[in-house]
Structures are given as structure tokens and as C-alpha cells.
Chain A
Amino acid sequence: MTKLILSTGNIISGGPSIIRKPGAFRSNLELTNSLRSHFLAAKEDYLDTLDHGDGDGDGDGDVNGANGANGAAPPLDVVVDDNNGPASARRLPPSAWTSRENDALYVPSIDWSGEGYGLQEEPARYDITAKIFFLPGVPAAQRAQHARDALSHVLRVLGAPAVDLLVVSFPGLSFEGDCEWEADRRNSVQGSDEDEVATWAEGIEELHRAGLAKRLGVAEYGSEKLAKFLQRVQVRPAVNQVNLKNCCNVPPPLLKLAKDEGIELLVHSDCTDILPKGTLRELLGHGLGGAGLLADPETGAPGLEGDLTPQWVVKYTAVVRDRGVIENKGYFAGALLHDP
């Protein structure tokens, strides 16, 4: 069994792929597009190091190992194909642009001390938000570990001791439909109250007590779920993130509850099932725009083999507090590869 850690790097200057499309109010395009372009960039970076022979950063022993493994394809061949971009990059062996650290395979490899990591100024000057997405189909008992894992990656990449707000997104929750009253009512039977409370107590409150998350939040809680949740948890959420077609139409019961209980209702535009299994396979597979990391049984292309399951996703944002400038934003995703 191999743990995969996918990352996007800092996507804030990542170009038009992160700009929302007209009419889209809930989407995971930002995650999938930025993963895709980050994979590609990592490969091109590798090709560049061959091209310019400057060998800094990621060009360590792996470079030679990779080319050796490629046998008949010496570096020159790769360089010649450089202009073809994605096609040639896809043929790169995984070891050229990914790396293993402890029990995890980093896709792509991360230079934790490189440009674009860490914050420009001291962490206290930032408002740092992390949002962890627990994905459907993953046993709830593993969530506490996933939360620790996710948050530690965020803190490491930003070089920060804590996040200011940690929002938790449980699978299966939403405000569906155009009628907000109806959406609020339907929300009450979504998800699993028992699992959510257990995750909160075992995983999330711990992070807060350990000083790693100053405030906590939930996402997509309707008035009924939120009221019940508040009665059962020790550390109350300070925030409830909601996604509504029109943010001017918050269901009145939710508005009232939030006001009475002093909970901030924040807007978000993420979809809850942010990284479905099929999407992950496409991202890492051999198809158009895929990273070519997985073995392809149809063509016999080599690569990682086994069943791949997304486990969690975490999104993080660092905003300079008194300037409203977003300095760093990105995602990590954790996945498990079950050996065949």
C-alpha cells in the first residue's frame, strides 16, 4: 500500500484556469486544473534542468537513475522532444518528477525550501484558512489521522505554526435546489450526525487544543444539523460555510440560528465531492491531459499499479491581513494505492 500526496503548489498566479466561469457557482475545476498544470510544470522543470544542465533543486541522483531506467532513451532524446511539451513530458518516468519521503510518494516532488513555499512575512501578519474535505467512501474512523496529515502539510508548506481557521467539509452535505427553505429542510437528513460528531471530537478538536487551528468551522450545515451539532460538541464551530445559488437568500432559520449562536456564515464555492475516484484516475492516468503516472493495462504502459482511492483534500489560503492580498493558495490531496 502506497500513500500518494498530490499538491498544486501556489496557484495564485496560476493563470486563467483558476478564474471562475460565468454561471458556475460550485466547482472543483480549480483543483483539477491546477493539479494538472502543476504536474506538467514539474515535468517541464525536470526537462529544463537537463536542457540547461544547472541541476539545482530536484535534479539529484534521481536524474541519472531515471535515464538509466529508460534504457535506450538518453537525455538527448528527451531534450529534442522538448518543444512538443506535454506529449514528450508524459513519457518521463515517475521518478524524474515525483519523490518518496517516508511512506509517501509526493506527486510532484516538493522542494520545501524552494521559491513559492513559505510566507514572505511573519505568519502573524496573515489570515490563514485551511479547509479539509473528507471524501465519500472513506471510513470515518480514519478521518482523525487524515486531518492531522492534511493540516501538517499545510503548516509545513506555509512555514506557519497554526492556521487561523480550519473548516471541515463532511461528505454528502449540500444546499440543493433553488428554494432555500426546502434546501435547509433537506439538509437536515444529509450526512451522518454520529460520524461527524465523532470525527469532530477525535480529530478536529484535538487540533484546536494542540494550538494548530485557532478557530474551527463546518461547511454546508443547515439549521437543524447545526443546532444538533452545537449541543454535542465541546469546541463549537465559529464558522459555517454555505454555498447558495444566491447568497442573498440564506434560509431564515439558518440566519437566525447563526445570529443567536454567534456563528459566522461564510460563502464558499467548492463542491463537496471535490475529488472523485474517476477524476483522480484521469489526472494520473495515460489519457489526454493525464500525468501518465499509473500503469495502463490496455496499452501495457508501465507505472503504478493497483486500486487508487482518494482519501482527503485540503485547500489552504494565506491572505495578508491588513492588505487583503492573497499571497499563497493551494491544495494537497491524499490518496491510497492498494497493491494489486
Chain B
Amino acid sequence: MGLLALGTALDWPDAKKQARLVREWGIKQLLEIWNKAKGKERDAMLWGDEVEYLVVTYSKDDPKVLLSLRQADILDALAQDKSLAQRCSPAPDESGYKSSQPPPVFHPEFGRFMLEATPGKPWGIEFKELLEVESNMKLRRCIAKNHMRPNEYPITLTTFPRIGSPGVFTDPYYPVSGPKLRSQFVPDEIANPHIRFPTLAANIRSRRGRKVQVNVPVFRDENTPWPWKDPTVNYDLHQWPEDDDVRNGAAPDNFIHMDAMAFGMGSCCLQITFQAKNLTEGRQMYDQLSPLGPILLALTAATPVYKGFLADTDVRWNQISKAVDDRTPEELGEKPLEKDRWRIPKSRYASNSTYISEDARLRPEYLDPDLVIDENIKQQLLDGGMDDRLATHFAHLFIRDPIVIFAEDLEELDLSKTDHFENLQSTNWQHMRFKPPPADNSIGWRVEFRPMEIQITDFENAAFSVFMVLITRVILSYRLNFYIPIKKVDENMETAHARDAVLTRRFYFRRNLFPPATRPSRRGSPSGSSTPTSAAASRPPTPFGPVEDEYRLMTINEIINGTAYARANPGNIPACAAAAADDDKDSDEYATDDFPGLIPLVESYLDSVNVDVTTRCRLARYLDLIRKRASGELWTAARWIRNFVASHPEYKRDSAVGEEITHDLVGAVVKIAECEARGEGWKDLVGEIPGLEKFLGKAR
């Protein structure tokens, strides 16, 4: 979550006054990096993953399962321990490969019940390193567990099913309705106590003029009263002005209502950051990975429960988006513009709004016609030597106000730092992030892929991480083109939220990923050379057809596995969802042009490089998981959790996920992790945990 510098954080009215200065200095710092780093070349492919955990207290015999708020103590214990991994030696690799990884690193997160862990140093592209990811993730989990109390567990559910439910859900207990969050569901103590975090939450609320409104449609089951009124909403609180929000319609019927940043930023995700060889390749990767965001979001769906109720959505994304939405009524378009500068169509946390590559394949029609930018800032960047497209990107990010400002940082502009730039950059949470090198220029241009949901097992987390790494290599090797209009990516992001979207919905996706047939003797460089080739330039450009002909609707099965596989394995679409699936169907389910599929592309790449049998076998298991998740042969975590709840004897078919169900769900997750840590398959748990085989398969 960025740098955790200490200092005097300004409250919103004061911070607002300094917003212009921070932006101005941030742009100066950005130009400083730009001029230092734009010519950086030949950086190696390095990448890193981030795994986030919830910390829960659980014991088999205690019916209460709670969020542990001991983040600071646990991090302290981790920091004090000189021999971190002593009791966690993962089984040596079959091939005898010895890891050169330093111990993993643990970081605080927004929620006081969260931890983040990263590898001790970035991964390279050696295939043997790809295999290390899973054991390293297990090592991280083991180390974390060893620095907790015996009844505390790091688990990788995206959200805690009962956060914000009436009664006790944290350990220790704190009353709700604190001065910072003013939430009627969660206490201020739910957030990391470092001044940055409560200030972030308070200033977002203050800038917005009311509490955030995180409303998720409730899943309507047989016995769910309809219209459904969230029974946990208290309409009679009068402690804070914001208590009026619910009386002013903040909690509509048929929605689970939440009112604090913790409901969003308390979610765990799986993020991957790649280092590009140079600026050009970084921009290419940013653009090309962007249309994959919604696909990977739907494929990793793991968030079907909020505040003790089944939601009618499967992923966390929009909830986080709403939980940090600091837009004023004027910016939202609810009131005419008077004080604010512009209407802003999206939250600070939202799908990408820009493409940034100078790729000739990027047609102007793909760009967002509603993009809001700060023209003054763009001009400053252009004057500073930045090109139009990248200047547009940053001039868009900089339409926002900085939320957390420390008084000490405003004394003088330090061009050897990037703190003001990062202030804006790191509070623009789009589904990709384009990261310039740090002030000392010691590392390269990087691209962060942010949409994936955390998975329950490290096997799955490693599988998705490695898959994304391979996809980037495929994109760069085959010079693939995933461009579709940004508006269609936005639409896909919404589509990805639907219950079982992975099986029941179709997504806009580019039909032909390959470069148009070029003449072999004139083919340009496939590796993203920074100098355009003269032959390519002298050739008359291929005439473009209509943009709408370049993409069509596809199932995720088709996108991941290819049309041929999807046709042969139409998938296990749940009966109740079949009707929903029909809403956008053409008469012919599969168009006549066959899409090759991302996994066959990855396999073709692997066929072309030297891979040893052990590595290929492990990679095959990862690809197999993803293949089957996409086809419905295996369930997403979201579907498994729904099934778990539905088959629980305490579930009354009324959408409510009570304490006992939550206790048993967390218990199952803990057990799965324990089995995985011991290096055992999940076979022994199959009879005990419902749906396990449909969730994780037989392979393990």
C-alpha cells in the first residue's frame, strides 16, 4: 500500500487546500523520473506476486470465528525473528533445485486483520523459478502461521463472510460508530492504526460529503423475503451527521448495505507485477494485459458472501470501487457543477481508462471517448518532453485529489523523491498500474496486473500467477494484439460480476490476435524493439475494417481453451443459471471464426522453448486447473462457497450465512490449507468437505 512514512496527516479541509501543490510537485517529480528513465533499456524480465491474507481466530470447538486484529503484533513478531523460516522447511524440490530466495517479506495492509506477503526478491523467467512460486507461497503461509497464536490462522478468502454483521466479529471486540469511519457496522479499529489508513478512510468520507455506499445485490433464494430489506441496517442512530445517510436512501431494497472503506479495502487479492525490458515494452504490456483483466476476474471469482448474506455477485471488484469512491455529488453528476472542476464517470478504483502504447495497432476508436483529463497538467508533461499518449494517461490520473497529505512533506520539493507523484499514482486503483522506475532509477518500468481474486490454496494462487507470467511471454513472442475498445473492457468488467459469470456470461474479445499477414522478408522485430523498423514504416498501412468487426462475444471457456475445446466441452452450466446465459445469445453459440484460446497459445509457446519434463509436468497441472475452471469441469471458489453454504444443515434458504456456517466454512478452508502445507492431497477431505472434488479436482 505504498510508503508508510510517519508524520502529521492533514484533515480533509486542510488537505484539500494543498491538493494543487501536491499535484504540481508530483508532476515535477514524474518528469524528473521520466527524463532519467525513458531511455532505460534491456532490463531483465523480473516479476513478483503479492498474496494477501485474512487473519482469523478459529478453533474446532468454539462456535465463534473472529477476525484477529493483532496485525501489528504479528508483524512485530515476524520482524523480530532472525531465523524466520526455521520451522518451515518446505520439502526439497524433486529435481534437487536449491532456492536462492531470501526469506519472504511481510507487509501491513489496510485492514487490521490482514497481512500481505511477497517473495524476498523478484522472480526471474527461468522455468525452475516458476516452479518455486508455489513452495514459496506455502513457506510464506507457514511462517505467518508460526508467528501467530495457536488459534490464529492466515487464510486466503477474499473477504471475511461476517465482517460487519451484528454482534462480535473481531478479536478483541470494539464498538462500532467511531469518529473516523462513522460506520454503523464496523469499528474504527478495523483499520490499520497507522495514521495513513484512518486518514485515508476519513478524508474519502469527508471529501465525498457522506459515507461511502457499498450496496451489493442480495442473492434471492427460495425463502428470501422479497423485497428484501437488509435487516442489519439501523435507522435510529444519531451520533454522527452521516447517520442520516440510511434515512436518505443509502440502503435500497434488495441490496446488502455497507458503509465503510473496510468492506472493500479489506478484501484480499492476488497481484502480479512485471518488469519490462524498456518503456516501449512496458506500455505494450499495459495495453495488452488490460483486456484480460475482466476475464481473469471472472475466472478467479471467490467473493459470494458479504456481511453475512449471499450476494448475487461473485467478485469483490465493484465493492472496493464503491468503498473508496471519494467523488462529490457534483462529480457524480447528482448536482450541477459549481465548485468542482468536472464530472468523473468512474471511481478512483475502477477498470482502466487509458491505453498508453504508441503501438501502430492502437486505433483511436479504442480510446475512451469520455476520458477526463487535466489539460494544464497534460501541457506541463508535454512541455517536459513526454509524448501525448503517456501525458494523457497521467493527466487523467491527476484529475484526482491527493487524499492523505503529511504536513512535513510540504516544506520543500525534493526531486530526489517520488512521494508526491506516488501519492496520486498509488491512490488510483485501476485494474492495471503502469509504474515508472523509482527515483534512484535502480529498477525498470513495471506493469501491475491487479484484478485477480485471491484463491483459497497456494496451488491455485501459484497456478494463476504462473499463467499470467506465461501469457506475458506469449504476448511478446507472438506479438499478440488484444485491443478492443476500452468501453468494451468496462462492460466486461461489469459482466464479470454476475453470479457464475465464468460459465454463464459472454465477454467482448478480439477475434484475431495475430498481426495481419505480413511479408516474411519485411517482418519487423518481434521483441518490442524501441526503434521502429523502416520497412514497416514504408509499407502502405493495411486498411482497417470497422472496429465492431474486430471483436465478438465469447465465453470464458472459448477465450481460455479455444473454440474447438469449448465446442467439445460445453461445460457444466448450473441449471439455475442457464436462463441467464440466454440473454445475450446469438442464434449460433459459436461464431464461424475459431478462436485459438489462451491455453493453446501458452502450450505452443512452451513447445518452442526448452522445458524439462518435471517443469512441464507441473506447468501442465497449473494449466489443467485453469482449463477446467474455464470450462466448468471445476468450480470457482465462489461456486464452491455457495455450494458449501447451500448444503449446510443450518442454512435456511433465506440468503443468510450465519455464525455456524461461517465457522464451518472457515474450518474447511483451514483444513484444506493444513493438508496442503503437509504436502498431502485433499483426497482424505473429500468425504468431509462438500464439493471439494469439484473445486480442486482429483489431481492433487
0/1 interface trace, chain A 9-28, chain B, CB 8 Å (1 if under): 11011111011111000000
Residue from A44, A326, A329 with most neighbouring chain B CB atoms (10 Å) = A326
CB distance from A168 to the nearest CB of B (A): 15
With A12-B477, A20-B604, A247-B620 given, is the CB distance from A265 to B522 under 8 Å? no
CB neighbours (8 Å) of B5 from chain A are none
Are A20 and B611 in contact, CB atoms less than 8 angstroms apart?
no
Are A18 and B604 in contact, CB atoms less than 8 angstroms apart?
yes
- CB contact between A41 and one of B45, B478, B517, B610 (< 8 Å): that residue: B517
Decide if A260 is an interface residue (CB 8 Å cutoff).
no
CA distance A317 to B610 in the complex (A): 10
- CB contact between A22 and one of B514, B519, B533, B568 (< 8 Å): that residue: B568
Q: Which chain B residues in 31-86 approach chain A with CB under 8 Å? A: 42, 44-45
CB neighbours (8 Å) of B523 from chain A are 9-10, 13, 115-116
CA distance A317 to B517 in the complex (A): 21
Are A48 and B616 in contact, CB atoms less than 8 angstroms apart?
no
Decide if A267 is an interface residue (CB 8 Å cutoff).
yes
Stretch from B226-234, B431-439, B595-603, B688-696 forming part of the interface with A: B595-603
CB distance from A197 to the nearest CB of B (A): 24
CA distance A130 to B635 in the complex (A): 42
Number of A-B residue pairs with CB-CB distance less than 8 Å in the complex they form? 149
Are A327 and B609 in contact, CB atoms less than 8 angstroms apart?
no
CA distance A311 to B600 in the complex (A): 31
Are B45 and A22 in contact, CB atoms less than 8 angstroms apart?
no
Q: Which chain A residues in 104-158 approach chain B with CB under 8 Å? A: 111, 114-116, 120-121, 125, 127, 129
Decide if A248 is an interface residue (CB 8 Å cutoff).
yes
Are A116 and B562 in contact, CB atoms less than 8 angstroms apart?
no
Decide if B343 is an interface residue (CB 8 Å cutoff).
no
Q: Which residue of A lies closest to B595 (CB)?
A: A16
Residue from B564, B604, B607 with most neighbouring chain A CB atoms (10 Å) = B607
Are B524 and A21 in contact, CB atoms less than 8 angstroms apart?
no
Are B521 and A45 in contact, CB atoms less than 8 angstroms apart?
yes
Decide if A60 is an interface residue (CB 8 Å cutoff).
no
Q: Which chain A residues in 287-306 approach chain B with CB under 8 Å? A: none
Are B522 and A325 in contact, CB atoms less than 8 angstroms apart?
no
CA distance A116 to B529 in the complex (A): 12
With A19-B596, A269-B607, A326-B605 given, is the CB distance from A120 to B520 under 8 Å? no
With A20-B607, A127-B610, A265-B612 given, is the CB distance from A10 to B514 under 8 Å? no
Decide if A165 is an interface residue (CB 8 Å cutoff).
yes
CB neighbours (8 Å) of B617 from chain A are 246-248
- CB contact between B518 and one of A13, A244, A319 (< 8 Å): that residue: A13
Are A267 and B522 in contact, CB atoms less than 8 angstroms apart?
no
0/1 interface trace, chain B 528-567, chain A, CB 8 Å (1 if under): 1100010110000000000000000000000001101100
CB neighbours (8 Å) of A77 from chain B are none
Decide if B479 is an interface residue (CB 8 Å cutoff).
yes
Are B526 and A13 in contact, CB atoms less than 8 angstroms apart?
yes
- CB contact between B478 and one of A9, A12, A127, A165 (< 8 Å): that residue: A12
CA distance A166 to B72 in the complex (A): 56
CB neighbours (8 Å) of B42 from chain A are 121, 125
CB distance from B429 to the nearest CB of A (A): 28
Are A21 and B564 in contact, CB atoms less than 8 angstroms apart?
yes
Decide if A335 is an interface residue (CB 8 Å cutoff).
no
Residue from A12, A115, A116, A325 with most neighbouring chain B CB atoms (10 Å) = A325
Chain A interfacial residues counted at CB < 8 A: 57
Decide if B100 is an interface residue (CB 8 Å cutoff).
no
Q: Which residue of A lies closest to B611 (CB)?
A: A267
Q: Which residue of A lies closest to B536 (CB)?
A: A115
CB distance from B172 to the nearest CB of A (A): 48
Decide if A58 is an interface residue (CB 8 Å cutoff).
yes
0/1 interface trace, chain B 592-633, chain A, CB 8 Å (1 if under): 001010001101111111111100110011000000000000
- CB contact between B527 and one of A20, A120, A268 (< 8 Å): that residue: A120
With A242-B613, A322-B45 given, is the CB distance from A115 to B608 under 8 Å? no
CB neighbours (8 Å) of A20 from chain B are 600, 603-604, 607
Q: Which chain A residues in 211-238 approach chain B with CB under 8 Å? A: none
Residue from A20, A244, A267 with most neighbouring chain B CB atoms (10 Å) = A267
Are A266 and B478 in contact, CB atoms less than 8 angstroms apart?
no
CB distance from B525 to the nearest CB of A (A): 5
Q: Which residue of B lies closest to A322 (CB)?
A: B44
CB neighbours (8 Å) of A323 from chain B are 44-45, 125, 277, 473, 476, 527
Are A324 and B520 in contact, CB atoms less than 8 angstroms apart?
no
Decide if B124 is an interface residue (CB 8 Å cutoff).
yes
CB distance from B514 to the nearest CB of A (A): 4
CB neighbours (8 Å) of A15 from chain B are 514-515, 517
Decide if A57 is an interface residue (CB 8 Å cutoff).
yes
Are B609 and A57 in contact, CB atoms less than 8 angstroms apart?
no
Q: Which residue of B lies closest to A269 (CB)?
A: B607
Are A115 and B535 in contact, CB atoms less than 8 angstroms apart?
yes
CB distance from B457 to the nearest CB of A (A): 19
CB neighbours (8 Å) of A50 from chain B are none
CA distance A244 to B565 in the complex (A): 21
Residue from A9, A19, A319, A329 with most neighbouring chain B CB atoms (10 Å) = A19
CA distance A120 to B594 in the complex (A): 33
CB neighbours (8 Å) of B526 from chain A are 10, 12-13, 325-328
- CB contact between B521 and one of A58, A121, A165 (< 8 Å): that residue: A58
Q: Which residue of B lies closest to A217 (CB)?
A: B610
- CB contact between A120 and one of B124, B519, B525 (< 8 Å): that residue: B525
Q: Which residue of A lies closest to B475 (CB)?
A: A325
Are B517 and A320 in contact, CB atoms less than 8 angstroms apart?
no
CB distance from A11 to the nearest CB of B (A): 9
The 7 A-B residue pairs with the shortest CB-CB distance in the complex, in nearest-first order: A9-B520, A324-B125, A116-B523, A248-B617, A322-B44, A326-B477, A323-B45
Sample of 4 more A-B contacts, CB < 8 Å, known A10-B526, A325-B477: A13-B526, A116-B523, A121-B42, A326-B473
Instruction: Enumerate 28 A-B pairs (CB-CB under 8 Å) in ascending A order.
Output: A12-B608, A13-B526, A14-B514, A16-B594, A19-B601, A19-B604, A20-B604, A22-B568, A22-B600, A45-B520, A115-B522, A115-B535, A116-B520, A116-B523, A125-B42, A264-B612, A265-B613, A266-B610, A267-B612, A317-B608, A317-B609, A322-B124, A322-B125, A324-B473, A325-B473, A325-B476, A326-B609, A327-B477
